[in-house]
Amino acid sequence: MLALTKTRQLPPAPGPAPVAREKPAPKKTSSYSFFSFDFLILLAAILITTNATSLLLYNDGGDQESKIGSALVVAKASGGVSNALRQVLLSPLYLYAIYYLAIHREKALRLLIKSWPLTVISLLSILSTIWSIEPSSTLRRSLSLVGGTGFAFYLATRYTLPQFVRLLGICMGIVCLLTFFGVFVTPEMGIHHDKHFPAWRGYFGHKNQLGNTMDCALLIGLMLIVSKYATRVGWAVVIMSLILVAGSLSRSAWVLAGFTIVSAAFMSLARRDRPLATVLFVFAVMGVAAFILFGDPAKTYDAYMVDLGKDPTLSGRTVIWMHILDLMRGFRFWIGYGYDSFWTSAKGALSMNWGLGDFVPSHAHNGWLQVFIHFGIVGVILLVIGFVNGLRANLTLSLRGDNLLFSTGLIYIFLYLCINLTETTFMWRDHFQWIMFIYFCASATQYKFAPVPLTAPAKKVLRRRSRPESHGESQAQTESPQAEPPKLPDAP
φ, ψ for residue 65, nearest 5 deg? -135, 130
Q: Does the structure show a pLDDT above 90 at 174? A: yes
Instruction: Please report the beta strands in 16-163, taking only residues with DSSP state E, as ranges in sequence order.
Output: 64-68, 71-75
Give the mean pLDDT of the chain. 80
Q: How confident is the model at residue 69 (pLDDT cuts 50, 70, 90)?
A: very low
| Residues 210-242: tens digit of each pLDDT | 999 999 999 999 999 988 888 999 999 999 999
Quote the crossing angle between the two packed helices 37-49 and 161-184, to the nearest 10°: 50
Does position 278 have pLDDT exceeding 90, yes or no?
Answer: no
- pLDDT value at 388 more than 90: yes
Q: Count helices and strands (H / E) in the chain.
A: 20, 2
The single-letter code of the amino acid at 324 is I
In tens, the pLDDT along 238-265 reads 999 999 999 999 988 999 999 999 999 9
Q: With contact defined as beta carbons under 8 Å apart, do 228 and 220 qualify? A: no
Exposed e or buried b for every residue in 461-483, given b needs 16+ CB within 10 A? beeeeeeeeeeeeeeebeebeee
CA dihedral 471, 474, 475, 477 (to 10 degrees): 160
DSSP, res 311: -
Query: Residue 64 pairs with which residues in a beta bridge?
Result: 75
3-state SS assignment for residue 274: helix
Q: For the purposes of burial, counting CB atoms within 10 Å of the CB of 72, is it exposed (0-12), middle (13-18) or buried (19 or more)?
A: exposed
Question: How do residues 429-455 score in pLDDT, each as one tens digit?
Answer: 889 999 999 999 999 998 876 555 544
Q: Which of 432, 412, 405 is nearest to 259 (CA)?
A: 412
Short-list 490, 382, 446, CA closest to 108: 446
* Residue 418 contacts residue 433 (beta carbons within 8 Å): no
The amino acid occupying position 396 is T
Average pLDDT over residues 156-185: 94
Q: What is the percent of the chain where pLDDT is above 90?
A: 50
What's the whole-model pTM score? 0.79
Contacts 24+ apart (CB under 8 A), 388-395: 389/115, 389/117, 389/441, 390/115, 390/118, 390/437, 390/440, 390/441, 390/444, 393/441, 393/444, 393/445, 394/440, 394/441, 394/444
Burial class (CB in 10 A: 0-12, 13-18, 19+), 183: buried
For residue 319, the SS3 value is helix
> Looking at residue 491, what is its pLDDT?
43
Give the Cα separation of 91 and 102 in Å (integer).
16
Count Cβ atoms within 10 A of the Cβ of residue 316 and give its class: 0-12 exposed, 13-18 middle, 19 or more buried: middle
DSSP string, 221-233: HHHHHHTTSSHHH
Residue 81: the pLDDT is 45
- Displacement of CA 43 from its chain's centroid (Å): 15
> According to the model, what pLDDT value does residue 304 have?
65
More confident site: 46 or 358: 46
The SS3 of residue 68 is strand
Q: Please tell me which of 279-283, 314-318, 370-374 the model is most confident about, judged by mean pLDDT.
A: 370-374
Q: What pLDDT shows up at residue 459? A: 43
| Cα–Cα dist 475/455, whole Å | 16
Of residues 202, 171, 195, the one with CA closest to residue 53: 202
Say what the pLDDT of residue 345 is. 87
Tell me: pLDDT of 327 over 90. Answer: no
Confidence band (pLDDT; 50, 70, 90) for 66?
Answer: very low
Long-range CB pairs of 415-421, under 8 A, 24+ apart, other chains included = 415/215, 415/216, 415/219, 415/256, 415/259, 415/260, 415/263, 417/387, 418/256, 418/259, 419/212, 419/215, 419/256, 419/367, 420/366, 420/367, 420/368, 421/366, 421/367
Give pLDDT, residue 479: 41
Residue 71's DSSP bridge partners are 68
> Which DSSP string corresponds to 121-181?
HHHHHHHGGGT-SSHHHHHHHHHHHHHHHHHHHHHHHH--HHHHHHHHHHHHHHHHHHHHH
Q: Residue 449's pLDDT is what?
A: 65
Give the pLDDT band of residue 99 (cuts 50, 70, 90): very high
8 A C-beta contact, residue 350 and residue 344: yes
Q: Residue 91 CB: number of other CB atoms within 10 A?
A: 12
Please tell me the total number of residues recorded for the chain in this structure. 492
Q: What is the mean pLDDT of residues 116-140?
A: 94
